[in-house]
Amino acid sequence: MDTASAPRKFSFDAAAAWALALTFGIAAIAFIPGSAVPFVYTKVSILAVGAIVTLALFILARLTRGNIIVPPVLLLGSLWLVPLAYLLSALFSGVGMKAAFFGSAFEADTLGFVVVAALLGSLAALVLRRREQLRLFYLVMAAAFAIVLVGEVIFIVGGQVAPNTFSATSNLIGAFVDLGILLGLALAVGLIALRFTTLPSWMRIALYVAGAIELLVLALVNSVMVWVLVALVALGIFIEAIMRRTLAAGDDDLEGVAVVEAPAMLDSVQGSLVAPLIVLVVSIFFLIGGSTIGSALSGGLHASALDVRPSWASTFAVGSHTFASSPLFGTGPNTFGVDWLKYRDSSLNSTIFWNIDFTSGIGYVPTSFVTTGAVGAIAWIAFFALLLFVGIRFLLLRAPADPFLRFVSLSSFVATVYLFALAVLSVPGPLTIALAFIAAGVFISSMRYGVSAQEWGIAFARSPRIGFVIVFALTLLLIAAVFGVYVVVERYLGESAYAQAASALQNGNLDAASADVARSILFSPTDYAYRLSSSVGIARMNQIANDSTLTADQARTNFQTALTSSISDALTSTQLGPNNYQNWGALGDVYAAVVPLGISGAYDNAKTAYEHAETLNPTNPVLPFVLAQLEIAQKNGAAAETDLTQAISLKHDYTQAIFLLSQLEVQEGKAAEALQAAEAAAYFAPTDPTVLFQVGLLRLGTGDTDGAIVALQAATKVNPQYANAHFFLAVAYAAKKDFTDAVTELQAVSALSPDNATAVAADITALQSGKNPFPATTLSEAPVTEPASNATPPAPAATSPATTPVQ
């Protein structure tokens, strides 16, 4: 019988290798269009399910073979130092095991995700034992990256041809920065493959073509950190190739020259000098001219993306506060966002990032230092130290002699260092962090092929006592794997239902939103699902109040049911997430919605909830502004004035608060005093558009239309994109029956954003027909939105992805 043609027998070992390779491959290319599908969470769920399935197949393989074989144990064990630190932090920080394990959506800083990442790395070390398994893994990775690269080409071309349908920054990976990180890695591995392996001509051509496209995408991403690391890899390969070139026979340059040379270690490098040299030159070119040429290129192809993170100083400031209170175990996994809100610098409110709740610091690893404390810092440092020491020593002294296995060792080590370096310097997505652990596992696996290397194993089938313990433990682990799949799938269904509920609520479909959020709570009862449910209840109350088809009794009953349900959901959200200010804000919103109805206790409960939210987010100007609105509804003008003053002190260009304060002071009969104070401020800050805006409003409110025009003209001159200043200047012109200038000002408002164009379209039409569309009474709220940060001038166009550390 011809054994070559015989069908291969099924093997759990082979199945585990396929499962591991496909786990990352499928996660990388998974893309389901639609806002109702959680993009990143889908990839994380694939990683988690794939890791558990691979673990189950590995356990079955070991049970059927009766042995466990592992590569060098020291580095393999170091993969679990970080999960151990996260576990200790979860147990002793007080954050709660469930919150620490899952977070909101299995974020990268949770215990659960770190366990999944370490599990993937360990499985890579244990499962990929044979040469053909390593080759399979690299082929699947190459196919996945090829699909990602082709997809990005489609997005870039589509962004030029049909910009309303495609975006040049869209991709299959996630964030545009993550795409740059992974394509930079693919470029580096491609250079190593060209240098250290013998490839067919078609494959070399494919690598050259892929490398050219990768350089283009890296130029669009324009990340300094990625360029530096890619340049270092290219430089290392170039120098190594130069040092090991063999001398050409009959070289005229050496005629009559006594040459001292070492024995040649490699044959011809097959043109491998060219590729690393080109990559090195291009990297240096964009490192020097990234802010000009890179910005022009990304702008020309409409591929600008902004990567905004807290600065090193801000991260250190938050960390110093958390270490002062919880030095050993930190504040718990995935709690940086809570710490940031407590300790962030209020000067951030003067930037366009004032209303962004950052959930991580300058880098993934520094964030982990803050959340897991000293145990986390020690774990990361020990892991990195072991990785570098063992890895460099292995590659220098005991690298495999086989060219392919040497390529595997070198490329996986470079990938590990590259990805973890970027995890220190930036905040990669979960896919990138998982790949860092997988690369470390592949490198550990390759160490079994080093010179004089030995594997360690236990043939537990030959020892009944040891075998019973190991089989029992493996069986329990197998059962836990089945349970793990169930939990991951259940939470994914809950997250998917939540996304559908949020989309339905945004579209005004309350019945669908209510059903979807109930399904989300059934699968995964999270604080944000209950918070969304309370928002659906508020929308339902508004709908009932405006429904004229209901009888008074029906409306009262339905309204009371919706109110009770909304309060219950909001209270539950505060119990599940007591440190999330948004939950307390949602509770306050429910009570505040019924304050005008005079319901007993509504005002007190709303105020208590908002004040608790303030303690969790003390530098947020929105919360005192919302409190002021509550006080106005309760007819407490003095308290509202205090809250508005606090909001403006936190954010001096907070247009909505300035507007509401001006209206309140006019209504309270304090316009003259307020105007005097505002004009005094304008005297000392004559170029501050927000002060000039407030002077204009107060003059308009006191009947000084000419004075209002002067102040508002000055505000728009200082900041031509101050939408509300233009709007009220139009109101002042219309009051003087200067409809032409009023139209000009509203056209300036219209040009700032599509929403503003819609808001003022009817006013422009009325003015053009000779009618004043503005009532004699003052407006109740700021009518248009500012383009960036209220009255703050917009930030200049950023290079892509323009890393902007926030102080």
Between residues 32 and 103, the one the model is more confident about = 103
Residues 6+ apart with CB under 8 A from 75: 386, 387, 390, 391, 440, 444, 447
Q: Which residue has the tokens 């579209």?
A: 507
> Are the CB atoms for 602 and 578 separated by under 8 Å?
no
Per cent of the chain over pLDDT 90 is 49
Q: Which two tokens stand for residue 728?
A: 């009220």
As a dihedral over the C-alpha atoms of residue 366, residue 368, residue 370, residue 373, rounded to 10 degrees, the angle is: -120
Between residues 266 and 409, the one the model is more confident about = 409
Average pLDDT over residues 798-803: 37
DSSP for 636-684 reads -HHHHHHHHHHHHHH-TT-HHHHHHHHHHHHHTT-HHHHHHHHHHHHHH
Between residues 680 and 3, the one the model is more confident about = 680
State the pTM of this model: 0.85
pLDDT at residue 261 in the model: 54
Q: Which two tokens stand for residue 460?
A: 């537990």
pLDDT at residue 426 in the model: 93
pLDDT at residue 265 in the model: 43
Query: How far apart are the C-alpha atoms of 189 and 230, rounded to whole Å?
Result: 10
- Residue 269 pLDDT greater than 50, yes or no: no
Q: Mean pLDDT in the chain?
A: 86
pLDDT tens profile 117-159: 999 999 999 999 899 999 999 999 999 999 999 999 998 888 8
- Packing angle of the helix pair 527-545, 581-593 (nearest 10 deg): 20
pLDDT tens profile 597-650: 888 889 999 999 999 999 999 999 999 999 999 999 898 988 999 999 999 899
pLDDT tens profile 663-675: 788 777 777 777 8
Confidence of residue 716 (pLDDT cuts 50, 70, 90): very high
pLDDT at residue 505 in the model: 92
pLDDT at residue 797 in the model: 30
> Are the CB atoms for 738 and 761 separated by under 8 Å?
no
pLDDT at residue 142 in the model: 95
Segment among 80-94, 308-322, 362-376, 408-422 with least mean pLDDT: 308-322
Average pLDDT over residues 76-105: 91
Domains parsed from the chain with CATH numbers: 668-807 (1.25.40.10)
Based on DSSP, count helices (H) and strands (E) in the chain, helices before strands: 32, 4
How distant is the alpha carbon of residue 428 from its chain centre?
8
Per cent of the chain over pLDDT 70 is 89
Query: How far apart are the C-alpha atoms of 647 and 631, rounded to whole Å?
Result: 14
DSSP for 713-753 reads HHHHHH-TT-HHHHHHHHHHHHHTT-HHHHHHHHHHHHTT-
Confidence of residue 799 (pLDDT cuts 50, 70, 90): very low
Average pLDDT over residues 708-727: 91
pLDDT at residue 796 in the model: 28
pLDDT tens profile 321-356: 999 988 999 999 999 999 999 998 888 888 888 888
- Residue 467 pLDDT greater than 90, yes or no: no
Q: Which residue has the tokens 């050219």?
A: 212
pLDDT at residue 461 in the model: 65
Q: Which two tokens stand for residue 685?
A: 């800050």
> Are the CB atoms for 134 and 128 separated by under 8 Å?
yes
DSSP for 608-625 reads HHHHHHHHHSTT-THHHH
- For 479-504, what is the HEC assignment? HHHHHHHHHHHHHHHHHHHHHHHHHH
Closest CA to 139 of 312, 303, 22: 22
Segment among 204-208, 558-562, 755-759 with least mean pLDDT: 755-759
Between residues 505 and 166, the one the model is more confident about = 505
Average pLDDT over residues 184-204: 92
pLDDT at residue 226 in the model: 94
> Are the CB atoms for 319 and 354 separated by under 8 Å?
no
Query: How far apart are the C-alpha atoms of 540 and 559, rounded to whole Å?
Result: 8
Residues 6+ apart with CB under 8 A from 323: 330, 370, 373, 374
Q: What letter represents residue 419's amino acid?
A: L
488: left (phi over 0), alpha (psi -120 to 50) or beta: alpha
